[in-house]
Each structure stands twice: as C-alpha cells, then as structure tokens.
Amino acid sequence: MINQPSGQIKLTNVSIVKLKKGKKKFEIACYQNKVQDFRKGIEKDLDEVLQIHQVFINVSKGQVASKDDLAKSFDSDDLDTIIKEILTRGEMPLSDKERQLMTNKVNNEMLTIISAKCINPKSKKRYPPSMIHKALIELKFSVVINKPAKLQALEAIKALVASQIIPIARARMRVKVDLNKSGNSEVIEKLSMLMKAPVVEETDSTWSCSALIDPVAYRTIVELCNNKGVLQVLDMAVVESK
C-alpha cells in the first residue's frame, strides 16, 4: 500500500539491506536471493533485485529517504547509483531460518575438512564427520557464519587434539624435496630430521627425498627449501596402514 501524501510505503515479506552514511542510515527492500546474485554479478537488473525502486530511512515504517538526505550523504542525486552502493556495501540481516541454513553449511564444510585431515592414531583410520561433530559438541565448540570453514576447522583440530576427547591426531603429509647438494649440506641435515620414513635418491650432485611429515613442520620445510630446492606436496593427508 502506498500513501503518497505522507510518503510512506508498506511492504511485507521483505529482505532489507542497510547502509550507514555519516550519521544517517539508509535501507532498501530486496529479494534476498537476488541480492546475492547482484553481488556475484549474475543479476544486473535492479528491478529484479528490488521489491520497490526506492531508498528508505526505515523500511518497516515505510519512511522514504528525502532527496536532500540522499544527495548530502552520497554526493549524488542519481537514485540507481545510490541503490547500487547500498546493495554492494550494505548489510543484510538474516532471518533465523537463513542463519540456520548458513550455519549448517559452514558446519558441514568444517566437519568434512577435519575428517580429511585427521586420523585415529591407534587405528590409523579417519573419523566420520558425525563422530567429530559429537566431540565438538562436548567441547562446546560452535561455528560462526562470518569466518571461513577452513580456518574454523584448523581451530577445531587444535581443540580436539589438545583435549583428546576422542583419540585424534593430524594425518601426516607426504612431500618430496629435490635439492642440489652443493652448499646445502646443513639444509639436508635439518630436513632429514623433520622427514619420517624417507625414501632417498642421490646422485653426486643432487639429493631427492620423499617422506611423511607432521603438518606443523610444513612451514619450516617450506622456509628451508626457499630458493634452494623444489618442494612438492604428494598427499595432503596420508592414512597409514597399521
């Protein structure tokens, strides 16, 4: 319903994108899925994104932003330019259902990463995501939707390994290092101390070694090989046979 005399517009079933400019807040009424399409460059037609082609001070109260407020805040009197800035930079509060769906998605991604990177050190087998999920619930570890799943997986792995609620360890990586022997005897010695079950191939001038390593040693190995040799990751997470 539009009440032209008072400049108030009533909308229902709307997703609101909000942006603060200076001391004023501006809102636009959108279709939630279309906002994501616009930000990804899939949808370019504003009329497909907006429920109504207008900028508000408060959508729920139907208070339309004045032209003066828009011009002062955005240094522009072009409505589409202003709307595009709000769409691109604004925040979109999620409904409870949307938030739960996103939380589930991040949680599932995180559990899959942990399952791939960790093993039971006794059985040398990976844990299914469901068992990892139960352990994290016991640890009261909760995911957040605004942090990458990979980063949260690494944090969760640290917590699981430290607590040992279930017997768990990072699966070893398999790497291969190729070095020129000349001037690298100290580097080769340090690398050899970090590499488990090595398979070494040597010539008079070259040293090549494939081996298992603890993932926490990977950064050190990268630094040792820097500008001195070639480091290849053959397997990110090795499940060893008993």
Tens of pLDDT, residue by residue over 161-186, are: 999 999 999 999 999 999 999 999 99
CA-CA distance, 156 to 51, in Å (whole number)?
41
Answer whether 19's CB lies under 8 Å from 91's CB: yes
Give the integer Cα–Cα distance in Å for 233 and 241.
Answer: 20
**Calpha distance 50→52 (Å, rounded):** 5
For residue 209, give the amino acid letter.
C
Domain-terminating residue out of 169, 197, 212? 169
Q: Which CATH number covers residue 17?
A: 3.30.1250.10
Which residues form the domain of 208? Answer: 172-238
Is 163 found in the same domain as 119?
Answer: yes
The structure tokens listed for 50 are: 């907006």
How many domains does the chain contain in total?
A: 3
* Co-location of 81 and 115 in the same domain: no
The dihedral built from the CA positions of residue 18, 21, 25 and 29, taken in this order, carries a sign that is: negative
Which of 41, 68, 89 terminates a domain? The answer is: 89
- Tell me the CATH number at 113: 1.10.10.900
122-131 contact pairs (CB < 8 A, 24+): 122/167, 123/242, 124/239, 124/240, 124/241, 124/242, 125/239, 126/171, 126/239, 127/166, 127/168, 131/166
Query: What's the 3-state SS for 172-196?
Result: EEEEEEEEECCCCHHHHHHHHHHCE
Residue with tokens 């944090």: 155
Q: Which contiguous run of DSSP H or E holds residue 108? A: helix 96-117
Q: What is the pLDDT of residue 1?
A: 38
Q: Where a domain ends, among 54, 89, 124?
A: 89
pLDDT tens string for the chain (242 positions)? 334 334 555 555 578 999 999 889 999 999 877 887 898 888 999 999 999 999 999 988 889 999 999 999 998 989 999 999 999 999 887 777 878 888 999 999 999 999 999 999 888 899 999 999 999 999 999 998 878 899 999 999 999 999 999 999 999 999 999 999 999 999 999 999 999 889 999 999 999 999 999 888 999 999 999 888 899 999 888 876 65
- Do 85 and 101 belong to one domain? no
Output the pLDDT for position 138.
96
Q: What pLDDT is stored for residue 10 in this prediction?
A: 56
